[in-house]
Chain A
Amino acid sequence: MFSHSYHLMVRIKLVSRLPPVNDHAGEGNILTAIRPAVEAKGVTRIFRGTGQDSVRALDNVSVAIRENEFFTLLGPSGCGKTTLLRLIAGFDYPTDGEIQLYGQDIAPLPPFKRPVNTVFQSYALFPHMTVAENIGFGLKMLGKPKAEIEARVDAMLKLVHMQELKNRRTSQISGGQQQRVALARALAPQPKVLLLDEPLSALDYKLRKEMQIELKRLQHETGITFIFVTHDQEEALTMSDRIAVMSAGNILQVGTPWDVYDHPAERFVADFIGETNFLTGMVESAGNGQARIALRSGAKICATAAAGFRAGGNATLMVRPEHAKLVKGRGDLTGTIETIVYFGTDTHIHVRLDEGDVFMVRQQNSRSASCGFENGDKVGISIGDDAAQVLKD
C-alpha cells in the first residue's frame, strides 16, 4: 500500500519542482521567497463547556506558512486542525495569541474581509444556485462587473473541467463534481490563501487519488498558498511541500514529507506517519547529531539524534521497516520469523525478537526469486548506520 503512494509522491514531486510561476520575477529575492503568508503566534483556543470542563483545542501554537506552498496540517481526529483553519478564516477567534496574514494582524477583520477562502468538508454548495452561480458568488459579493464575473467563471469551469455542467443545479451532479465546484468557487475570487478542510474524505479511493493529483496541479497553476487538512498520513506525504504534525492541540513537528518520515522528532510523529519499529536502549555517546546506542540485545548501533541527548540516558529508537535488512546468521538483532505477508511490490516479514517484541522488515520483491525466508526461520536483522533515529518521548 504505502510504497505505491510513495511512487506517486515521487512523481508529483517531480512536477512541483518545475520553476514556479512568479509574478514578481524582478523582486524574487530571498526575502520574498521565505515571506510567510500566514503566521500563527502563540495561538490558544479554549472552548468553555457547560460547568467546569473546558477543551484546550489549540495550545500555544506557533507556525509560519510560506507563500505559494502546499502546507498540510496532519493529525488524528480532534487534534485541533479544523479549529486552526476556522481561526485563519475568521469563523472563530483565538482565546490568546495572534494570527498574521502577510505580517498583519487579522484579528479585526471579519471573515468576509479576509482574502482567504475555504473548501468545506461538506462542500457547502448553495442548493438554490446553479454550478456557475455558485462559482461566481464570491465575485458577485465583491461587486465585480457582470462581464468580469462571467469570464472568470468560465475560466474556473475550464480549470476544473466542468464546462458542460455549468447550468446544472448542485443537487444534480456527483460527489466528485461537487468537490470540483467547491474548489472552483473558492478559487474564483483569487484568494491569497486557500483553506481545505479534509476535502477528499468523502470521496472513494480512486476518485480521491485523482483529486490529489488534481489539487497539486491547481495549486501549481494558480500559485495560491494552500493550507490542507487531513488525518490521512499517506495523503499528507504525497501532496505536501511541508507538513505540520499535530496532536492534542499542539504542533509537534513541521517539515518536508521527507523530514517527518525519516527524521521524526518525537515518538508520536514516528508512530503516526508510516509504519515503524521501536527499540529501547542506552545512550553510550552522543554529539554532532549522532549517537551510539547500546540495545538491550547487547548490539551497538549508530543513530541520528537531535541535540539534548546525553550519554547514560535511556533512549527510544526508531527504525523504518524498509531500512532494516534480514540476514541469515547474526545481525544487530536476532529472532524468529512469525509471519510473511506478500504485498505485490514488497513483502512484510514479522520477526519475533529474542527479547520478545515484534520487528517488521519490508523487502522489495523481485520477479525471479521468493523472499528467501520461511516461517520459523531463525534470522538476524541488520540495521545500517543511517537507518535509526533517536526519538523524544
Chain B
Amino acid sequence: MANRFDVRRQNGFVSVAMLCFFLLYLPIATLVVYAFNDNDSVVIWKGFSLRWFHIAWNNALVIESSIRSFQIAAVAAVLATITATMAALATTRTKPYPGLTLKYAFINQPLMVPEIVTAVALLIVFSRIKIWTGYSGLGYLVAAHTAFCIPFAYLPIRARLESMDLSLETAAADLYATKWKTFRHVTLPLLWPGILAGLMLAFVVSLDDVVITEFVKSGGQDTLPTYMLGQLRRTVTPEVNAISTAFLVLSIGIVTAFFFISRKRT
C-alpha cells in the first residue's frame, strides 16, 4: 500500500503529526499524572498517591453531583434519541419540498445558535415558569439537555437512514407488512447502529455540558461539571484531577461499550 503518493512519505508529515498528538494529549496526560500527586499542588510533583481519589470518593457533593449528571444525561439522551429518530424519519422518508431545508435548520438549531444565548433565554423563560408553577425540580435541566442533544442524536441517525436502500421498505410493504410492521421488522433493525451512535453522542454531550446547566439549574442542582467549576473558584487541589480522571475512564468505557454493541448489530 505504501505507494509514492502515500501521505506518510511527505516531508515533515511525521513531525507535524507528532506535534498535533503532543498538543492534544499532553494536557490530558498531565492531568492524569497529577491526579496521583501526593501534594496539595497541581503543578509540583511530590510522589505517587491515591489520596485524592480517596478524598473525592468520600466527598458527598462529588458523588451527589455525579449521580445527578448521569440521571440527567440518561433521561435526556433517551428522550433526544427518540425525538431525533422521529425527526430523521420524517425528513428522509419524503420527497424534497420547499421548506425542508428550513426544517433541517430548525432541528439543528442548537448547533448554530451560541450556547450562551440559549442559556440566557432559558434562564429567563424558566424563571417565569418556576414562579407560575412553583415547580423547581430537575425537569428544567432534563428539558434543556434534551433540546440541545437532539441534533447530536439526529445527525448519525439521518446519515444511516439516507444510506438505507428504500426498496427494502417497499419490499416489506409488498410482503404484507403494514407500516408499523415494516418499521418494526425492517427499518428499526437496520437503523440500530445509527440510533446507538446517536444515543451515545447525546449522552456524552449532556454529561459534559456546563454553560446551559449553569444558567438553568436551581440551588443544590449542581452537576459534576458545574460542581468542579465552582471548586475552581476556590483553591485548586488534585482532587479536581482525580475526578476528571475518573470521568475520562468512564467516558472511554461507555464509548467503547457502545462501539462494540453497535458493531455486533451490523
* A and B form one complex: yes
Q: Which residues of A are in contact with B by a Cβ distance under 8 Å?
A: 89-91, 110-113, 116-118, 120, 122, 124-128, 137-138, 141-142, 185-186, 189
A118 to B176, CA, bound (A): 11
**Contact assessment for B173 and A112 in the assembled complex, using a CB-CB cutoff below 8 Å:** yes
Q: Which residues of B contact A89 (CB under 8 A)?
A: 174
Tell me which of B171, B177, B185 contacts A118 (CB under 8 A).
B171
Name the residue of chain A whose CB is nearest to the CB of B176.
A141
- How many positions in chain B have a CB within 8 Å of any CB in the partner chain? 17
**Contact assessment for A110 and B170 in the assembled complex, using a CB-CB cutoff below 8 Å:** no
Q: Is B168 an interface residue (CB 8 A)?
A: yes
A124 to B168, CA, bound (A): 5
The DSSP consensus for interface residues of chain B is helix
Interface string of B166-205 (1 = CB under 8 A from A): 0110111111111001000110011000000000000000
**Contact assessment for B173 and A138 in the assembled complex, using a CB-CB cutoff below 8 Å:** no
A89, A118, A125, A126, most chain B CB atoms within 10 A: A126
**Contact assessment for A112 and B170 in the assembled complex, using a CB-CB cutoff below 8 Å:** no
A122 to B171, CA, bound (A): 11
Q: A112-B173, A118-B171, A142-B176 are in contact. List 4 more A-B contacts (CB 8 A).
A: A91-B173, A116-B174, A122-B167, A126-B172
Q: Which residues of A contact B171 (CB under 8 A)?
A: 118, 120, 124-126
15 pairs, A vs B, C-beta closer than 8 Å? A91-B173, A112-B175, A112-B178, A113-B176, A116-B174, A118-B171, A118-B174, A124-B165, A124-B170, A126-B168, A126-B172, A126-B186, A141-B175, A141-B176, A141-B185
**Contact assessment for B175 and A189 in the assembled complex, using a CB-CB cutoff below 8 Å:** yes
A142 to B176, CA, bound (A): 6
A217 to B180, CA, bound (A): 36
Q: How far is the CB of A297 from chain B (nearest CB, A)?
A: 54
Q: Which residues of B contact A128 (CB under 8 A)?
A: 189-190
Tell me which of A91, A112, A124, A127 contacts B176 (CB under 8 A).
A112
Name the residue of chain B whose CB is nearest to the CB of A114.
B174
A89 to B167, CA, bound (A): 13
A116 to B189, CA, bound (A): 25
**Contact assessment for B173 and A124 in the assembled complex, using a CB-CB cutoff below 8 Å:** no
Known: A112-B178, A128-B189, A141-B181. A122 touches B165 (CB 8 A): yes
